[in-house]
Amino acid sequence: MDREGNVLGSFGSTTDHLSLVDPRHALIRHGGVYVADLGARAVLELDTDLRTTRRRWGGPEATGLMLSRPRSIDRAPTGELVIADTNNNRIIGVDQKGDLCWQLHRVKGVTGQNEDLRWPRSARISHDGRLVVCDSLNSRILVVDKTGSVESEFTHVRAKDNSFPVSDPHDGRWIGQSELLVVDSDSAWVARVDCDGAATWIFTDLRDPHQADIHGQWVVIVDPELDTVLLVDAVTGTEIWSRNEFFDSSGTSYRLFKPRVVRATPDCVLIVDADCQVVALQQDWLVRWAWDGSTARRARRTGGFDVPDAPRDVAIDASERLLLSDYRRNCVLALKPQC
C-alpha cells in the first residue's frame, strides 16, 4: 500500500490458487519482497510488483511429510494410509513406515483441465482404489480415480424437488462402490447419495455436523455444535435417538464433550470428542472401552510422551493400532487404548 492506504498490488488469496497459506511476516530487501508462510512452511521471494515468484524455500515439495493441519486419515486396501493434508492442499498416501508413496495436489477435471485442490478436509478410499474428496474451499465433492482424474463431482445434493448446496463439505464415506455418505458442516446436512449427488435421503435437523459413518443398519452422526451423537436409520434417514452420554456394563457413565469424530469398525463404533476422549461403543451401544486424553495429558507432565491436542479423525492401521490425526500438532499419533 502507499502512505494513504491505497492498495497497489496483492499476492495470494483464494483467487490466486492459494499461493500463500498462512503468511506471518513480509520484508522488502535487496529489490525483492520476502514472505514467511507458516502454513506452507516456506519462505518466498517475490518481485516488488507482487506478480512473480522468484524463489521458494521449503514447502511440501521440499519437506516431504511435514503435515500441516491434517484432517482425515483412512486405510487403503493395500495397507497404506491416506491423509488429507489440508493446509498443504494435498492428499497423500504413506506406508507403514511413514514414507511418502504418492501425493495429489491437483486433479484432472471432467473438462480435462488440471484443477488445484483447495483445503481438502476429507479423503476416503474405496476397495477399488477410488477416492471421495471433500474439496472444501471449492465447495464440491469429487470422486477421483487412481490416475487423479475426476470421475464425477457435484456442488449440490438433489433430493426429490429440492436442491441442497455443497458449501463446506467436511466428510465423505463410501457405501459399497457406488454410494456415498456425505456431510456438509456449513449447510448442516448429512445425505446418502450416489456418485452424482442424487440423494436417497438427506437429514437436516443439525447445526454443525462434522462426520458420519455407516454401521450395519444405522448411520452414526456427530455434531459438536449440538454436543450430541445421533443415530439414524441407514435406509430411510429417520432419526432413532440422539445423546452424548453412554454407559458401560457396570453402569459407569461416559459423557462426551462436543463429539467431532466417528469411525465404524466391524465390531464397534469409535467416537472422539473435543477433550480427546475416545469411546468404543459395541452393538448394544454400551461402552466396551474408553481412552481418556485428559488423563494422558496429566501423565505427560512426568512421562514425557506426546498426547493428542486437537483430534480430527481416527483410524485403525494394519497393525491394529489406533491412529488419531492431530490438527494442532500437525501429526498422526498412534495410541494404545486400555481395553
pLDDT one-digit tens code per residue, 283-338: 999 999 998 876 655 555 444 445 678 899 999 887 788 899 988 888 888 876 54
pLDDT one-digit tens code per residue, 189-233: 999 999 999 999 999 999 999 999 999 999 999 999 999 999 999
Instruction: Answer whether 45's CB lies under 8 Å from 32's CB.
Output: yes
Q: What is the average pLDDT score of the chain?
A: 88
Domains of the chain by residue range: 14-61, 64-335
Tell me the pTM: 0.80
64-335 to CATH, choices 1.10.10.10, 2.120.10.30, 3.40.50.1360, 3.40.605.10:
2.120.10.30
Q: State how far the Cα of 264 lies from the Cα of 115, in Å rounded to an integer.
A: 32
pLDDT at 146: 86
Q: State how far the Cα of 203 lies from the Cα of 213, in Å rounded to an integer.
A: 13
Write out the three cell numbers for 298. 496429566
Instruction: Look at 127-131, 171-175, 188-192, 330-334 and tell me which has the smallest mean pLDDT.
Output: 330-334
pLDDT one-digit tens code per residue, 5-16: 998 888 876 444
Instruction: Answer whether 329's CB lies under 8 Å from 308's CB.
Output: yes
Q: Which pLDDT band, with edges at 50, 70 and 90, does 60 fall under?
A: low
Average pLDDT over residues 69-84: 93
pLDDT at 104: 93
Task: Please give the share of the chain, as a percent, with pLDDT higher than 70.
Answer: 89
pLDDT at 64: 54
pLDDT at 301: 45
Q: Terminal CA-to-CA distance of the chain, rounded, Å? A: 59
Q: State how far the Cα of 334 lies from the Cα of 31, in Å rounded to an integer.
A: 47
Q: Is the model more confident about 321 or about 246?
A: 246
